[in-house]
Chains A and B, each alone.
Chain A
Amino acid sequence: MINRLDRFVYLKGRQIKAEYRDQIVEAYQGNPFIEALPCRLSQDQLFQMLYSVPRFTGDINRLNSEERVELVQQIKPSYWQPLSTHFERYRNLYNMIKIGYQSRNPLTPIYQRQMAIGLDRILAAGTDEFGRNLAGNLQTAQQMADIGLSGMGKSKSYERILSLFPQVIHHSEYHREPFPCKQVVWLHIECPSNKSVGALCRNFYWAVDKLLGTTYYEDLAEKDGRAEVLAKRMSKVAGQISLGVLVIDEIQRINRGYSGGDEKMIDFITELTNSIGIPIVLIGTFKALYLFKSSLANTRRGIPDGYAENITDRMRDDWEWELFLKGMWDLQYTNKFTALTPDLKAAMYFHSLGIPDFAVKLFMHVQCRAILYEDEEEITVNLIEEVANKTFRLVQPIFQRIRGGEEIDPAEYEDLKPDWISFKEYLMEAQHRITIDGNLSEEHKLILLQHNRRILIDQLTVFAMKMGCSGDVALTYAEKIEVQNRDAGNDIELLYLEIAKLVFENKSNVSKETEEVEEKTKQKKKPTKIKNPDLDESDIRFIVSQGNLNNMTIDEALRDSGLVGEYDEFV
Chain B
Amino acid sequence: MNRLKDGRGQGQGESYIPYIQANDNKVASEGWLTRTPGWHSNRIHHTLSKYEYQYFLVQEWTDQITDIREQYPLPYEDTQRIAEKLNIRHPHLDGHDVVLTSDFMLTVIDDNDSLNDQARTFKPIHKLTKRTLELFEIERRYYKEVGIQWKVVFDVGRPINLIKNIDWLHDAKRADTRPGMDSEVVNMIAEPIFEKLKQYNTKLSISKSCLRCDDHIGLEPGTSMFMVKHMLANKRWVTDMTVLIRESAPLVIDLPGQREMK
Partner of A565, one of B62, B86, B151, B156: B151
B85 touches A555 (CB 8 A): no
Chain A residues with Cβ under 8 A from B136's Cβ?
540
Kindly identify, within residues 529 to 571 of chain A, every residue whose CB is under 8 Å from any CB belonging to chain B: 531, 533, 538-541, 544, 554-555, 558, 562-568, 570-571
Q: Given the complex of chains A and B, what is the CA–CA distance between A568 and B163 in angstroms?
A: 10
Chain A residues with Cβ under 8 A from B59's Cβ?
570
A555 touches B156 (CB 8 A): yes
Q: Which residue of A lies closest to B104 (CB)?
A: A565
Chain A interface size band reads 20 to 34
In the assembled complex, A224 has its CB within 8 A of some CB on chain B: yes
Chain A residues with Cβ under 8 A from B128's Cβ?
554-555
Kindly identify, within residues 151 to 165 of chain B, every residue whose CB is under 8 Å from any CB belonging to chain A: 151-154, 156-159, 162-163
Chain B residues with Cβ under 8 A from A540's Cβ?
133, 136-137, 140
Chain B residues with Cβ under 8 A from A562's Cβ?
151
Chain B residues with Cβ under 8 A from A563's Cβ?
140, 151-152
Interface size on B, residues (CB 8 A): 34
In the assembled complex, A342 has its CB within 8 A of some CB on chain B: no
In the assembled complex, A301 has its CB within 8 A of some CB on chain B: no
Q: Which residue of B lies closest to A228 (CB)?
A: B126
In the assembled complex, A225 has its CB within 8 A of some CB on chain B: yes
Given A539-B137, A570-B59, check contact A555 B64 (CB 8 Å).
Answer: no
Q: Given the complex of chains A and B, what is the CA–CA distance between A477 and B154 in angstroms?
A: 46
Q: Given the complex of chains A and B, what is the CA–CA distance between A538 and B86 in angstroms?
A: 13
Kindly identify, within residues 52 to 67 of chain B, every residue whose CB is under 8 Å from any CB belonging to chain A: 54-55, 58-59, 61-62, 64-65
A229 touches B126 (CB 8 A): yes
B154 touches A555 (CB 8 A): yes
Partner of B62, one of A224, A225, A571: A571
Q: How far is the CB of A524 from chain B (nearest CB, A)?
A: 14
Chain A residues with Cβ under 8 A from B171's Cβ?
none
Chain B residues with Cβ under 8 A from A501's Cβ?
none
Chain A residues with Cβ under 8 A from B58's Cβ?
567-568, 571
Chain B residues with Cβ under 8 A from A571's Cβ?
58, 61-62, 159, 162
In the assembled complex, B129 has its CB within 8 A of some CB on chain A: yes
Q: Given the complex of chains A and B, what is the CA–CA distance between A562 and B106 in angstroms?
A: 18
Q: Which residue of A lies closest to B138 (CB)?
A: A540
A565 touches B153 (CB 8 A): yes
A555 touches B125 (CB 8 A): yes
Given A533-B85, A540-B133, A570-B65, check contact A564 B126 (CB 8 Å).
Answer: no
Q: Given the complex of chains A and B, what is the CA–CA distance between A554 and B125 in angstroms?
A: 8
Q: Given the complex of chains A and B, what is the CA–CA distance between A541 and B134 in angstroms?
A: 7
- The A-B contact count (CB < 8 A) is 65
Q: Given the complex of chains A and B, what is the CA–CA distance between A541 and B58 in angstroms?
A: 29
Q: Given the complex of chains A and B, what is the CA–CA distance between A566 and B125 in angstroms?
A: 13
Chain B residues with Cβ under 8 A from A533's Cβ?
85-87
Kindly identify, within residues 104 to 148 of chain B, every residue whose CB is under 8 Å from any CB belonging to chain A: 106, 108, 120, 125-126, 128-130, 133-134, 136-137, 140
Partner of A567, one of B55, B85, B86, B134: B55
In the assembled complex, A226 has its CB within 8 A of some CB on chain B: yes
A568 touches B151 (CB 8 A): no
Q: How far is the CB of B56 from chain A (nearest CB, A)?
A: 10
Q: How far is the CB of A44 from chain B (nearest CB, A)?
A: 54
Chain A residues with Cβ under 8 A from B64's Cβ?
570
B85 touches A558 (CB 8 A): no
Chain A residues with Cβ under 8 A from B130's Cβ?
541
Q: Given the complex of chains A and B, what is the CA–CA distance between A570 and B107 in angstroms?
A: 11
Interface centre among A533, A540, A558 (most CB of B within 10 A): A540
Q: How far is the CB of A213 from chain B (nearest CB, A)?
A: 26
Interface string of A9-30 (1 = CB under 8 A from B): 0000000000000000000000
Chain A residues with Cβ under 8 A from B163's Cβ?
567
Chain B residues with Cβ under 8 A from A226's Cβ?
126
Q: Given the complex of chains A and B, what is the CA–CA distance between A554 and B126 in angstroms?
A: 10
Q: How far is the CB of B243 from chain A (nearest CB, A)?
A: 15
Q: Given the complex of chains A and B, what is the CA–CA distance between A541 and B136 in angstroms?
A: 9
Given A555-B154, A570-B108, check contact A565 B137 (CB 8 Å).
Answer: no
Q: Which residue of B lies closest to A554 (CB)?
A: B128
Chain B residues with Cβ under 8 A from A224's Cβ?
129
Q: Given the complex of chains A and B, what is the CA–CA distance between A42 and B153 in angstroms?
A: 63
Q: How far is the CB of B226 from chain A (nearest CB, A)?
A: 24
Chain A residues with Cβ under 8 A from B108's Cβ?
570
A544 touches B133 (CB 8 A): yes
Q: Given the complex of chains A and B, what is the CA–CA distance between A539 and B156 in angstroms?
A: 23
Interface centre among A531, A538, A544, A570 (most CB of B within 10 A): A570
Q: How far is the CB of A469 from chain B (nearest CB, A)?
A: 15
Q: Which residue of B lies closest to A229 (CB)?
A: B126
Q: Which residue of A lies closest to B120 (CB)?
A: A565
Q: How far is the CB of B104 from chain A (nearest CB, A)?
A: 10
Q: How far is the CB of B77 from chain A (nearest CB, A)?
A: 17
Chain B residues with Cβ under 8 A from A544's Cβ?
133
Given A229-B126, A533-B85, check contact A567 B152 (CB 8 Å).
Answer: no
Chain B residues with Cβ under 8 A from A567's Cβ?
54-55, 58, 153, 157-159, 163
Q: Given the complex of chains A and B, what is the CA–CA distance between A203 and B223 in angstroms?
A: 59
Q: Given the complex of chains A and B, what is the CA–CA distance between A562 and B87 in angstroms?
A: 25
Q: Which residue of B lies closest to A544 (CB)?
A: B133
Q: How far is the CB of B150 from chain A (nearest CB, A)?
A: 8
Chain A residues with Cβ under 8 A from B125's Cβ?
554-555
Q: Which residue of A lies closest to B54 (CB)?
A: A567
Q: Given the complex of chains A and B, what is the CA–CA distance between A555 and B106 in angstroms?
A: 22
Q: How far is the CB of A560 from chain B (nearest CB, A)?
A: 12
Q: How far is the CB of B176 from chain A (nearest CB, A)?
A: 27
A554 touches B133 (CB 8 A): yes
Q: Which residue of B lies closest to A224 (CB)?
A: B129
A541 touches B133 (CB 8 A): yes
Q: Given the complex of chains A and B, what is the CA–CA distance between A289 and B87 in angstroms?
A: 36
Chain A residues with Cβ under 8 A from B126's Cβ?
225-226, 229
Task: List 28 A-B residue pairs with CB atoms under 8 Å apart, sorted by A's residue number.
Answer: A224-B129, A225-B126, A226-B126, A531-B85, A533-B86, A533-B87, A539-B137, A541-B130, A541-B137, A554-B125, A555-B125, A555-B156, A562-B151, A563-B152, A564-B151, A564-B154, A565-B120, A565-B151, A566-B158, A567-B55, A567-B158, A568-B58, A568-B62, A568-B159, A570-B62, A570-B65, A571-B62, A571-B162
Name A residues whose Cβ lies closer than 8 Å to a Cβ of B.
224-226, 229, 531, 533, 538-541, 544, 554-555, 558, 562-568, 570-571
Name B residues whose Cβ lies closer than 8 Å to a Cβ of A.
54-55, 58-59, 61-62, 64-65, 85-87, 106, 108, 120, 125-126, 128-130, 133-134, 136-137, 140, 151-154, 156-159, 162-163
List the 6 closest A-B pairs by CB distance, nearest first: A565-B151, A570-B62, A567-B158, A540-B137, A570-B64, A554-B128
11 extra interface residue pairs, beta carbon distance < 8 Å, beyond A567-B153, A567-B157: A533-B86, A541-B137, A544-B133, A564-B153, A564-B154, A565-B152, A566-B157, A567-B163, A568-B62, A568-B162, A571-B58
